[in-house]
Structure 1
């Protein structure tokens, strides 16, 4: 764990609400500097006592040029970047068949491309200082696809695949990448989400899902996720992945076990599908 009291500088997207706001407040409360970015944000959204340690940046992460400009502004005002948290995200509910092209692309524009643009914008600075930590806020939905959250899961699967590659690429420059997979937290993700136009054929499935959801779930305070994030970035050996919450922890192991059982059951078919042979003679 970190022993130096020296403050660090954060760049957090989606910082005006939910988990992003909790992350920003936790960093400010410990004396760190924060560039808090969101579509709609103001210094007045935070305690005025944080003074010049807080830089509020209006930012649409789907605008690549704006992302690069915001990162340059953050570095100019705060001096450097130490921790980058890609937290901005949206959720669109609906069966896969129901999504229009515009709706499907919109889900990826924020959840995947937004994080991609931020990563590309901050890496030159992190490489130059040969230090830094990029935290990608994923979701329980990246553990598997579920009815009505397929496109959201797809965007988070894409984020994680890109982040795994990024982690290996950035490691050579002393830059760490971590993927955080939260379970349920009391944020406005659910109240601000969009939905597809329901297709009649999926009526029975929707009714069953509504019945399951009616049984209720108990979400957690974002403050607890922020406390876990601080432990992550303070670690001398931060992991590539961190699960947040008992539900997501248990689900991750359950899904992994079921996948391994399926792979094992089909082992003979899998192995029989591969038999190395010499490359064909290019002259024939």
Structure 2
């Protein structure tokens, strides 16, 4: 019997590419988005194998209802991919209270609500795989993306903890950490009201040399991930990801070691 995948934010980008990849491989897919009309062509091609549902992940009750609808339609939810999210671009000082809360409502709390909703189903099945779409910016930061960085750091801590809590129930958790991709959300994200003193930093970040991956190239990696018997807790995506994260962690380790004598003395 084919497995059921629930993917949020499936109207474009990673979500759209992955939904189509799963359908091509014979999976049953529940694809959610704020606007599901972008999925009409997939619905025409794959019929009952695809269930499209409108969902704003910020709304907890809506998320709970969608999970129940998927379960009633397909009889199982084997894989949850929390992909919905966006990037708030701007310096920390520039960020308003409303912007900061909205970033966390979608990127962190939206993921939390879907995760909580599927856990009873997966525990009863004694199997499941929860995949959280994080970012390399959940492991290391870039300036002018402070609230986005923070939302992904929070997701990392939540998901690592979750993995240790649900392992005994046969549920796997994986954090996907992509580097920049050609249609990544930070190209279509929201921008704070700029404070001119940060303009130079903004230009430096915008013009920094980087190599963006192609979203379509990630499909085979996602299929391999869900079909692996023991999936990893973390999966970096893209050729820039590991060198970037390694450089950042090497610097952190060096600094911690330099200050270790002070740290040990503070133990008492």
TM-score norm. by structure 2 comes to 0.96
Residues 261 and 13 of structure 1, relative CA distance in 2, 3 Å threshold: same
Distance (Å, rounded) in 2 between the aligned partners of 1:174 and 1:33: 21
**Map of 1:261-280 to 2, 5 A cutoff?**
261-275=254-268
C-alpha displacement of 1:47: 5.2
Is 1:87 the counterpart of 2:80 in the alignment? no
Residues 188 and 274 of structure 1, relative CA distance in 2, 3 Å threshold: closer
Could you tell me whether the CA contact under 8 Å between 2:86 and 2:186 is conserved in 1? no
Which residue of structure 1 aligns with residue 13 of structure 2? 18
Is 1:107 the counterpart of 2:103 in the alignment? yes
Regions of 4+ moved over 4 Å? none
Which residue of structure 1 aligns with residue 145 of structure 2? 149
Is 1:96 the counterpart of 2:95 in the alignment? no
3-state DSSP of counterpart to 1:180: strand
Distance (Å, rounded) in 1 between the aligned partners of 2:199 and 2:214: 33
3-state DSSP of counterpart to 2:267: coil
3-state DSSP of counterpart to 1:246: coil
Bigger-Rg structure (1/2):
1
Which residue of structure 2 aligns with residue 220 of structure 1? 213
3-state DSSP of counterpart to 2:223: helix
Could you tell me whether the CA contact under 8 Å between 1:16 and 1:45 is conserved in 2? no
Could you tell me whether the CA contact under 8 Å between 2:177 and 2:235 is conserved in 1? yes
Distance (Å, rounded) in 2 between the aligned partners of 1:40 and 1:208: 35
Could you tell me whether the CA contact under 8 Å between 2:9 and 2:34 is conserved in 1? yes
Give the one of 233, 240, 244 matched to 2:237.
244
Distance (Å, rounded) in 1 between the aligned partners of 2:184 and 2:243: 24
3-state DSSP of counterpart to 2:229: coil
Which residue of structure 2 aligns with residue 132 of structure 1? 128
Is 1:167 the counterpart of 2:163 in the alignment? yes
C-alpha displacement of 1:167: 0.7
Which residue of structure 2 aligns with residue 177 of structure 1? 173
Over aligned residue pairs, what C-alpha RMSD do you find? 1.3
3-state DSSP of counterpart to 1:258: helix
Which residue of structure 2 aligns with residue 278 of structure 1? none
Distance (Å, rounded) in 1 between the aligned partners of 2:186 and 2:199: 21
TM-score norm. by structure 1 comes to 0.91
Query: Which runs of 5 or more residues in structure 2 are unaligned?
Result: none
3-state DSSP of counterpart to 2:161: helix
Could you tell me whether the CA contact under 8 Å between 1:18 and 1:186 is conserved in 2? no
Which residue of structure 1 aligns with residue 3 of structure 2? 8
